[in-house]
Amino acid sequence: MGNYFTDNEQIQFLFNHMNIGEVGSIMEEGFRFAGKYGIAPADEKEALDRYRGMLDRVGKLSAQVIAPTATETDEIGNILNEDGSVTYPPGIARAIEELGREGFMGFTLPYQYGGQNCPNLVYTMSIDIVSRADASLMNLYGLQGIAETISHFASDEIKAEVLPEMSAGKKTGAMVLTEPNAGSDLQSVKVRAFENEDGSWRIRGVKRFITNGCGHVLLVLARSEPDSTDGRGLSLFLVERGPTVKVRRLENKVGIHGSPTCELEFTDTPARLVGERQQGLIKYVMALMYGARMGVAAQALGIGEAAYRFAREYASKRMQFGTTIDTFPAVKEMLVEMSAELQAVRALTYFASYCVDKDNGIRKAQATATDKDEIKRLKNEAREFRRINGMMTPIAKYWASEMSTRVAHTAISVMGGSGYMHDHPLERLWRDSRITSIYEGTSQLQIVAAVGGVLGGTVHSVIDMILGDRTNWSDPFVAEAVQQIRDASGELTEVAEFIKDGRDGDYRRLYARRIVDMGTILLGAVILTDHAEADASRVPLLKYWMGSRMPEFAKLKAVICSDDASTLSEFDAIAGTIPEVGAEVPPPVEVVQGGVVAEVAATS
């Protein structure tokens, strides 16, 4: 019987190598819940055993229950009924039921609400595993950030009423943010929230491209201050599914067919304020976005894993010219490129999740600290981790999503015509992968979010965090790699100084992607170096990374420092005049998923 946790050697290594016991202790608040809740561990060993057991069950469910129905789910899709309700594909409905029965729909929620109280790192691992089985299911399983937002910011009454049923999978949720004319610019949201004389609220308007908009619990961003025009006039509201919430249509998407993407109409719908008025976008949606982006990064990992495995297995059996095609150097190169990038991105994404857990732990410690020196230390640590997470989260989302599309594309190249056929799951993975670089903020938007950190020295902070001040290394090549990383870190500083030396904002924005790519190459190198030091069997992967990616790092530096801005100054001459399409096409729309826009025009 299959198990997508135990059959993945890299996830096994990362589970054992990363300090999951430390982040488990953070979630357990020093294991003070032991004895109060039956499933709460009493120490780090029990926590690790518990997390391993949970991932083992997720792995079995993914391989034995979810994966076998993924093709059927893709073919059937969701059905919009005449009464405005939505029927999930049978495989999705069963998966949610099974995951809910295990308590996995409340993976990170507190015990008191029926949750599992797990670290984000372990949850990220579980999303990776589930997404390998069916990426579209992740958009319901991975929407647990909605419940987390309620847990962090809603009233005790709302929490007690809603969260236990969400943990059990009896209620699903949706982030309801995007509108036809408010995508990247969420400050332009026009859906109105009206306050009644008794202090209650009602909502009126239309939202579009809402993942699982047919869910039971909707977090709606609406304009509560009628005279405002910016983000300060927006509040977050909890709405429950009912007769005044109408699903007007289901979007006909290229991929992730098991995930319903809805257009919603609210007609004086009863709503309850979540948290403070006017903090909807500024505080709550921004917090929700970080979790959503990590979820998509993990989703992309699962897609990449599935696509790579199909290509690797096919190449080992496909006979051409009297031998299997995995003996051909060109095919070997494609397989190694896929595997190396997949492993590097998974390592970085998991490390980013670890940093989120560390940040959460510092915030908890700050809330109870009384000693002045301790308060000062925690304040400095909190500032540092906020800076690191502000860069690592968008980089993880950007790199993982781009990786998944490259790996799916290359896997089809390995399989040739067989991979292009509807008969094989690979073409579904190819379609599913494309959305990961679009929703929850396009790759271009992630680059905009990350470039400041790369230029501001945050990459150096991560390098120092991982390498420390060590000088002795177990393998000569590891020592050599460390020196290369230190030297390259200096080159990244030179790039930052070049950009700041009299070049305008447009030049920085023009080369932002290349700047971030330099950062990702270096981050991948330092994380893989740490892994090679811990396990000698990982030295070959490090050698490949340093040999193939560091020359690319040097090339990126040369291009950035070329002072060539012809893309901007000669745009019309190079791009040419606006062509006549010659066919009727719909007007441009902002393409979003999960309620978060993918429109990229505002990135500069």
For residue 216, give the CATH number of its domain.
2.40.110.10
Tens digit of pLDDT for each residue in 22-41?
Answer: 999 999 998 999 999 999 99
Which one of 440, 473, 508 terminates a domain?
A: 440
* Residue 401 falls inside a structural domain: yes
* Residue 106 falls inside a structural domain: yes
Say if CB 5 and CB 55 are below 8 A apart. yes
**Same domain, residue pair 49 and 163:** yes
The helix or strand, by DSSP H or E, that contains position 272, with its residue range, turns out to be strand 261-273
Tell me how many domains the chain contains.
4
CA distance 540 to 536: 8
Count of residues making up the chain? 604
* Residue 600 falls inside a structural domain: no
pLDDT at 8 over 90: yes
Tens digit of pLDDT for each residue in 337-366?
Answer: 999 999 999 999 999 999 999 988 888 888
- Would you state the torsion angle of the CA atoms of residues 542, 547, 549, 554, taken in this order, to the nearest 10 degrees? 130
CA distance 245 to 239: 9
CATH classification of the domain holding 400:
1.20.140.10
* Residue 586 falls inside a structural domain: no
What is the predicted pLDDT for the residue at 142?
84
* Residue 85 falls inside a structural domain: yes
Contacts of 222 (CB under 8 A, 6+ apart): 189, 191, 192, 193, 203, 205, 234, 235, 237, 271, 280
Say if CB 79 and CB 73 are below 8 A apart. no
Say if CB 63 and CB 3 are below 8 A apart. yes
Tens digit of pLDDT for each residue in 474-514?
Answer: 899 999 999 999 999 999 999 999 999 988 899 999 999 99
**Same domain, residue pair 300 and 411:** yes
What is the predicted pLDDT for the residue at 600?
33
* Residue 258 falls inside a structural domain: yes
Which one of 250, 278, 306 terminates a domain?
A: 278
**Same domain, residue pair 25 and 67:** yes
**Same domain, residue pair 524 and 554:** yes
Contacts of 269 (CB under 8 A, 6+ apart): 202, 203, 204, 239, 242, 244, 245
pLDDT at 181 over 70: no
**Same domain, residue pair 268 and 286:** no
Which one of 278, 303, 336 terminates a domain?
A: 278
What is the predicted pLDDT for the residue at 599?
36
Q: Count Cβ neighbours within 10 Å for each residue of 105-114 and write b for 16 or more, e otherwise.
A: bbbbbbbebb
CA distance 288 to 299: 17
pLDDT at 559 over 70: yes
pLDDT at 597 over 50: no
**Same domain, residue pair 340 and 257:** no
**Same domain, residue pair 81 and 200:** no
CATH classification of the domain holding 57:
1.10.540.10
Say if CB 594 and CB 439 are below 8 A apart. yes
**Same domain, residue pair 216 and 336:** no
**Same domain, residue pair 292 and 435:** yes
**Same domain, residue pair 427 and 478:** no
Q: How far apart are the first and last CA of the chain?
A: 50
Point out which residues pair with 247 in neighbouring strands: 264
Domain that holds residue 530: 454-566
* Residue 466 falls inside a structural domain: yes
* Residue 427 falls inside a structural domain: yes
Average pLDDT, the chain: 91
Tens digit of pLDDT for each residue in 189-232?
Answer: 888 999 998 989 999 999 988 999 999 999 999 898 888 877 78
Task: Using alpha carbons only, give the angle 424, 425, 431 rounded to the nearest 5 degrees.
Answer: 115
**Same domain, residue pair 98 and 130:** yes
CATH classification of the domain holding 474:
1.20.120.470
The helix or strand, by DSSP H or E, that contains position 264, with its residue range, turns out to be strand 261-273
CA–chain centroid gap for 280, Å, is 21
**Same domain, residue pair 381 and 332:** yes
Tens digit of pLDDT for each residue in 136-160?
Answer: 999 999 888 899 999 989 999 999 9
CA distance 406 to 425: 16
